[in-house]
Amino acid sequence: MRMPGDKTMIIWGMVGNSHDASLAVFRKTENKLELLWAALSKDFSNVDNDPHFNWTIIEVARKNFGDPDQVVWYENPFTKSLRQLWAGQGFLFKENNIKAYLKQWNIDVPIKYVPHHLSHAAYGYYTSGWNHGNVICIDSIGEFETLTMWRGDGDTLTKISSQSYPNSLGLWYSAMTQRLGYTPNKQEAVISTLAKSGNPYKYKQKLYDDFFEVTYDPLCKIKFKENCHRGLRWYAPEIKDIDNLAASVQHVFEDLCMKLTTSIQYNNPSTNLAVTGGCALNRGAMDKIRKNWRGFWIPTNPGDPGSCIGAVLALEKKHIDFDEEIWYNNKTKKGLANE
């Protein structure tokens, strides 16, 4: 129990109500911000990509660290609702009402909202251990943004480039996952594995011609000829050799990631690069990029789950001593005080 006059705050960073719900617990004092614990809902529910919290993860956090004084949410629900309306999905603000959403777990404290891509970038930069560096965030959609580049200098994180929906490299890769007969947002890893048995050059030029316009102004921008959010089941039905198509998709993705990171390296000289967003999980692309950097950092859970940490760091604008073992793992029980 806290004594009167105790200025310690317990802050919960939270991601959920979409996919891969996650929770981070911070303790903030007058002079220090400390990450105590982080976990994914799926490790307590055993539901893959579980989009929602459950009583177990909430009660474990409460039992070990106490009730939150504040929640920091990883995106702006109103801006997200506007993008969904613009995209033809309807006005879903009722479904995106996070205050109402959290009340089902008796969480009724002040909520701060941090832009989606800023949460990604902050997770990469403020856990890197660097005092300067570049950050690139590549995902499907975050509110309107789909790809952002950042410069980190001391405790300051500055956005230097942004691309918006529907121009999304992440959406394209997920839509091509669908075209190849797999489940988007779940089975992208299957494509990079399948690609190893195909010819990466067979459909490379066709994919570039059909989908992309790459420009430099001076940073690399990737514009799309198709809105991949609608899916790509219709694309090139004459192509039957999916191993060659998968190999070409992976090769184009790696090539574009290289163009993006080379662009930021040339225009914002630094030896350090952090990558976050769901596309940072594409190991083939990341292994090629890392060779060009002295310092290269992809934190654990670089997609949306890591933003439960990043959202708080973005709000506080502070580096932390980051130990990746802080992430709870249901198989090893690491990162938990007293379950």
The answer to whether residues 112 and 75 touch, using CB atoms and an 8 Å cutoff, is: no
Q: Is residue 336 part of a domain?
A: no
- Summarised one tens digit per residue, pLDDT across range 238-290 is 999 999 999 999 999 999 999 999 999 999 889 999 999 999 999 999 999 99
Residue 30, pLDDT > 80, answer: yes
pLDDT, tens digit, for every residue of 92-102? Answer: 889 999 999 99
pLDDT of residue 87: 84
C-beta of residue 121 within 8 angstroms of C-beta of residue 160 = no
Mean pLDDT to the nearest integer, 108-120: 98
Neighbours of 258 (CB within 10 A): 16
Whichever domain contains 189, its CATH number is 3.30.420.40
Same-domain check for residues 30 and 111: yes
* Assigned domain for 236 exists: yes
171 and 143 share a domain? yes
- Confidence at 173, pLDDT banded by 50, 70, 90: very high
Answer yes or no: do 241 and 197 share one domain: yes
Q: What is the spatial distance between Cα 31 and Cα 285, in angstroms, rounded to a whole number? A: 39
In this predicted structure, the answer to whether residue 5 has a pLDDT above a threshold of 90 is no
In total, how many domains does the chain have? 2
Task: Determine the number of helices (DSSP H) and then strands (DSSP E) in the chain.
Answer: 11, 12
Residue length of the chain: 339
Give pLDDT, residue 243.
96
Q: For residue range 309-339, what is the model confidence (pLDDT) as tens digits?
A: 999 999 999 999 999 999 998 666 665 654 5
Domain membership of residue 124 (yes or no) is no
Average the pLDDT over each of 197-206, 299-308, 324-333 and give the range with the smallest value. 324-333
Pairing of the two strands 132-142 and 70-73: unpaired
What are the structure tokens assigned to 254, written together?
Answer: 């790696």
Rounded Cα distance between 148 and 178, Å, is 25
Same domain, 32 and 106: yes
The tokens describing 104, both together, are 């089902």
287 & 139 share domain: yes
pLDDT in tens, 206-242: 999 999 999 998 999 999 999 999 899 999 999 999 9
Tally the C-alpha atoms within 13 A of residue 16's C-alpha that lie toward its C-beta.
26
Check whether residue 189 and residue 211 sit in a common domain. Answer: yes
Which CA distances in Å does 187 have to 18, 49, 124, 191, 192?
A: 17, 11, 24, 7, 10
Structural domain including 219 reads 132-298
> Cα separation of 59 and 41, whole Å?
12
For residues 22 and 136, membership in a common domain is answered with: no
pLDDT at 238: 97
Same domain as 200, residue 218: yes
Per-residue pLDDT averaged across 75-85, rounded?
A: 93
Which token pair is 35? 């990450």
- pLDDT the model gives residue 303: 96
Q: Is the pLDDT of residue 3 over 60?
A: no
Could you tell me where the DSSP H helices lie in the chain? 42-45, 55-65, 77-86, 98-103, 116-126, 169-179, 188-194, 204-211, 242-267, 283-290, 307-316
Q: Are residues 96 and 137 in the same domain?
A: no
Domain co-membership, 108 together with 219: no
**Do 33 and 170 sit in the same domain of this protein?**
no
Residue 44's region, left for phi above 0, alpha for psi from -120 to 50, else beta, is: alpha
Q: Whole-prediction pTM value?
A: 0.94
In a domain, 95, yes or no: yes
Q: Do 147 and 277 fall within a single domain?
A: yes
Q: Please give the Cα distance from 262 to 258 (Å, whole number).
A: 6
